[in-house]
Chain A
């Protein structure tokens, strides 16, 4: 177990809806990264938060947004859901932007 927890584990939404995914980082970790993994693909970097500030973003549109709280837990929000947003969303925590990431077990999002 990595100590990184994500909720919910599974979620079904319809096109156009909004969704919020949550992540609790491992104790002591101040950096959270979010990845999207479509079926048959590797994880794709969405963004990273360090000490409550976004400090890196991948090639995702603005309808993907996030937040990190003072306790370093994090949220990923996706607005105006599209069918292609169906994927496994992975959260990973680390200490001080370390390259050693600890992944949560993910949220499987299905958009119908």
Chain B
């Protein structure tokens, strides 16, 4: 079983749609959680950290359920510029970041 699993998509949505990405992780010792965004063959960029209490940054909302070992990202009012691959990332203490394969989003007009 992979340490971080994501639905690879692609998710094809129209502008203005709401889209949700899910991610599960296998190691219950994981302590830190993130969503990164990666444009085609460019470097990953931190989108947001994920906290158990849930957190929001504009149109983006991230949730963490430690009991279910599940992480989600919700994007409201999708824009063309949101088209990218979204990487779910977890980290245990003293280890490197562990990336999922990513979920591809394509927003069309």
Contacts and interface: CB of A to CB of B under 8 A. Distances in A.
A99 B101 contact: no
Given A40-B101, A99-B32, A99-B91, A45 B42 contact: no
Given A99-B32, A99-B91, A106 B43 contact: yes
B96 A42 contact: no
A99 B41 contact: no
Contacts of B98: 45
A108 interface: yes
Given A42-B100, A42-B102, A43-B99, A105 B44 contact: no
Contact of A103 (B32, B45, B101): B45
Given A40-B8, A90-B43, 5 more contacts: A2-B43, A43-B44, A45-B98, A56-B95, A88-B41
B101 A41 contact: yes
A99 B43 contact: no
Q: Is the interface of B mostly helix, strand, loop or mixed?
A: loop
Interface of B: 4, 8, 32, 34, 41-46, 87, 91, 94-102
Interface of A: 2, 33, 35, 40-45, 48, 56, 58, 88, 90, 99-101, 103-106, 108
Nearest to B93: A99
Given A40-B101, A42-B101, A103 B44 contact: yes
18 contacts: A33-B96, A42-B100, A42-B101, A42-B102, A43-B44, A43-B97, A44-B99, A56-B94, A56-B95, A56-B96, A100-B46, A101-B46, A101-B97, A103-B44, A104-B43, A105-B43, A106-B41, A106-B43
B55 to A, nearest CB: 16
